[in-house]
Structure 1
Amino acid sequence: MDVNIILMTALLATLLGLLVMAFAGPSADKARKRRVASIRGRHSESAEAIMEARMRKAISNRATGTEMKMLVSLIPNPELLTKRLRMTGKKWTLSQYMTASAVIFLLIVGFLELRGFPMLMAIMVGLAASLGLPHWWLGKLINKRVNQFNAKFPDALELLTRGLRSGLPIAETLGVVSSEIPGPVGEEFKLVTERIKIGKSMEQALQETADRLGTPEFQFFTITLSIQRETGGNLAETLSNLATVLRQRAQMKLKIRAMSSESKASAYIIGVLPFLVFGMICYINFNYMKPFFTPDPVGLFGLSTMQVVGLGGMCWMGIGAYIMAQMVNFEI
């Protein structure tokens, strides 16, 4: 029991230290200097000061790279993870992501250790959860934001079309879209207009947004503008046709979702039912399931036979869930 108390004390101390290091705000002196510089640049009338203020605003969300270097250095591909964090639309950093993963690992390991699980099993489960849960949550946030963007993007294209037909240049119509369309569409077009203001070409600004979003819809829009600027033609008519195509794609996706909803519901029920029954049996008669939680020194890696069988069943269920997910995954 003393060992468990010492272990939990160490885990809680590490947890508090990680939270303080990750979410501690900037110093008051640095914040004061930034505010003074921002006010000075805002009220200065020189073109050089205005350009400097725009550049400072454009790179204000960039990570400093000095926080939690030890945790961040454990990431095998930090560029890809940084891109995923930007795709969520949140101002999260790599240090905050790794701190959240470390907190999940410590909590799960401490909980399983207190419940009497073998240390090796607790570490394995903690690693799987700390790596999988944040990645899964990021994926959900990215998909949610992409779906919100795709839902409003045809409206943005139609607004661009009306602006071009009324005689406005393309740069001004992009600014109108950024102020009129709410949600992710307005945010992304605002970033495009800000990049154009600091000296980047329209193709570069649009391509950076397309790379961050990773959606074919915006890639179509970027390619359309690039081709039109090289070859000429009626851009308003082209964007109107693109908006029609994107709406038809969205309708097709909804039809496929409706047709595959029955198969997905069956997969969810089949996947959740074993865990639900297991939890109900543990709640009703824990003595019946007690051998599952009892360590067996003779078993594989200190696990009991029932635990090994349970892990094997979870692996096979994962393979089956992956196959069913691929069966209802259609490319449009």
Structure 2
Amino acid sequence: MDGNFFLIMLLMATLLGLVVVALVGPSPEKARKRRVAMIRGRHSDSAEALLEARMRKAISNRSTAIETKMLVSLIPNPENLTQRIRMTGKKWTLSQYMTTSAFIFLGLAGLLMLRGFPPLMALMVGLAAGLALPHWWVGRLINKRITQFNAKFPDALELLTRGLRSGLPIAETLGIVSSEVPGPVGEEFKLITERIKIGRSMEQALQETADRLGTPEFQFFVITLAIQRETGGNLAETLSNLATVLRQRAQMKLKIRAMSSESKASAYIIGALPFLVFGMICYINFNYMEPFFTPDPAGLFGLSLMQVVGIGGFCWMGIGAFIMAQMVNFEI
């Protein structure tokens, strides 16, 4: 009991420290003085002021590089995670993502230990939740934003078509779309126009957006513009046909979702019910479920018969869920 109490106190202290670090930012007065010093050094003519400004810039770049190295060492694939965070459209950072994961891990582990769970099991469950829940939430935001983008993208293509038929250049029509179409479509087209204004070519700006979105609908649009710029032709007619194809594609997806919604709901309920009941029983009366977590040295690989049956059932349920997911997954 003393060891568990000490571990719980350590987790609570770590969680409190993370809260303090997350909520207590840098001093506004120090930040103001630093900005004033940087402005003075930038506009001063003395050699000492210029040298001090260069040293301050080098130190700031060095600290940023050190922080980046620390993030790279803590995250297995920081580039992929950064790409996923950008796909959400939120201005989140890797440090905020890691802090959220640490909050979930420490909070859930401490709660489970307070309920009488073994420390090792509480730490493993907290670690799994800390890694899985932020990943799931980011994926949910990505899917939601892509769905919103695909719903408004045909309207943007039709607006482009009307602008081209009225005699406007493609760059100006992109700016009109960024201001007229709300939601993720307007945001992405605004970024495209801003990149073009700072010197990027249209192909580069469009391809960067296509890589961030990762949707075949926008990739079709990029390929259409690239082919038209090389071969020529009526771009307005091509974009009009593309808008029609994308609308038909969206309608087919909705039909498939409607036809498979009942089967998906049944699969979700049946698949999640055993785990929900198991978790609720463990939370309400862990002593009743304690034999399930007790190893048996004489069993297979040190596992008891209940554990072997549970692992087998979990594997078979996973195989069944995978097969059902593939049966209702259609490529359009």
TM-score by length of 2: 0.81
Indicate how the Cα distance of structure 1 residues 187 and 302 shifts in structure 2: closer, same or farther if over 3 A, else same: farther
Per-residue deviation, 1:293: 3.1
2:262 is matched with 262
Describe the SS at the equivalent of 2:74: coil
**Aligned residues with identical type, % of pairs:** 78
Query: C-alpha displacement at 1:323, in angstroms?
Result: 2.0
2:290 aligned residue (269, 280, 293):
293
Q: Distance in 1 between matches of 2:23 and 2:308?
A: 39
Mapping 1:297-308, distance limit 5 Å: 298=296, 306=306
Match of 1:47 in 2: none
Distance change in 2, residues 1:276/1:260 (3 Å):
same
CA-CA distance at 1:5 after TM superposition: 2.8
Local SS of the residue matching 2:239: helix
1:292/1:307 contact within 8 Å kept: no
Greater displacement, 136-145 / 311-320: 311-320
State the AA in 1 paired with 2:138.
Answer: L
Give the aligned residue type for 2:88. Answer: T
Structure 2 runs not aligned, ≥5 long: 40-63
Q: Which residue of 1 aligns with 2:147?
A: 147
Deviations 1:184-233 (A, max 9, x none): 00000000001001100000000000000000000000111111111111
Confirm or deny: 8 A CA contact 2:4 2:119 kept in the other structure. Answer: no
* 1:72–1:98 CA contact under 8 A, matched in 2: no
Q: Is the 8 A contact 1:175 1:193 kept in 2?
A: yes
Change (3 A) 1:134 1:234: same
The aligned residue for residue 118 of structure 1 is 118
- Cα distance in 1, alignment partners of residues 287 and 304 from structure 2: 11
8 Å CA contact 2:12–2:110 kept in 1: the answer is no
Higher mean C-alpha displacement, 67-76 vs 299-308:
299-308
Are the equivalent residues in 1 in contact too, given 2:282–2:289 (CA < 8 A)?
no
Give the partner amino acid of 2:212. Answer: R
Query: In 2, are the aligned partners of 1:117 and 1:293 still within 8 Å (CA)?
Result: no
Partner of 2:127: 127
Residue correspondence of structure 1 range 214-229 to structure 2 within 5 A: 214-229=214-229
C-alpha RMSD of matched pairs (Å): 2.9
Distance 1:10 1:281 in 2: 27
1:25-64 to 2 correspondences below 5 Å: 25-28=25-28, 29-30=30-31
Q: How many Å apart are 1:302 and its aligned residue? A: 9.1
Alignment of 1:184-223 (within 5 A): 184-223=184-223
Question: 1:290/1:261 Cα in 2 relative to 1: closer, same or farther (>3 Å)?
Answer: same
Shift of residue 304, structure 1, vs aligned partner: 6.7
The Cα shift of 1:278 comes to 4.0
SS of 1:182's equivalent in the other structure is: coil
Aligned to 2:231: 231
Tell me, in whole angstroms, the C-alpha distance in 1 between the residues paired with 2:81 and 2:32. Answer: 28
Q: Is the Cα–Cα contact under 8 Å of residues 196 and 202 in structure 2 kept in the other structure?
A: yes
Cross-structure match for 2:74? 74
Q: Which amino acid in the other structure matches residue 4 of structure 1?
A: N
Question: Given that residues 178 and 185 in structure 1 are in contact (C-alpha distance below 8 angstroms), is that contact kept between their aligned partners in structure 2?
Answer: yes
Equivalent in the alignment of 1:102? 102
1:66 Cα deviation (Å)?
5.5
1:328 partner letter: V
- Contact 2:101/2:134 (<8 A) preserved: yes
Structure 1: distance between partners of 2:324 and 2:229: 44
Counterpart CA distance in 1 for 2:242 and 2:100 is 41
Amino acid paired to 1:119: P
For the pair 1:247 / 2:244, whether they are aligned, the reply is no
What TM-score does the superposition give when structure 1 sets the normalisation length? 0.81
Structure 1: runs of 5 or more not aligned: 39-63
Q: Closer, same or farther in 2 for the Cα pair 1:297/1:323, shift >3 Å?
A: closer
Name the structure 2 match of 1:9: 9
Structure-1 separation of matches of 2:38 and 2:166: 40
Task: Give the 3-state SS of the residue equivalent to 1:73 in structure 2.
Answer: helix
Which stretch shifts more, 114-123 or 257-266? 114-123
Secondary structure of 2:91 counterpart: coil
Query: How far apart in 2 are the matches of 1:72 and 1:118?
Result: 32
Match of 1:59 in 2: none
What are the superposed Cα offsets for residues 229-279 of structure 1, whole Å, 9 maximum, x if unpaired? 111111111100000000000001011111111210120121122234446
Q: Quick one: which amino acid aligns to residue 91 of structure 1?
A: K
Determine the C-alpha separation between the residues in 2 that align with 1:30 and 1:290.
Answer: 55
Matched to 1:5, the amino acid is F
Structure with max Cα Rg: 2
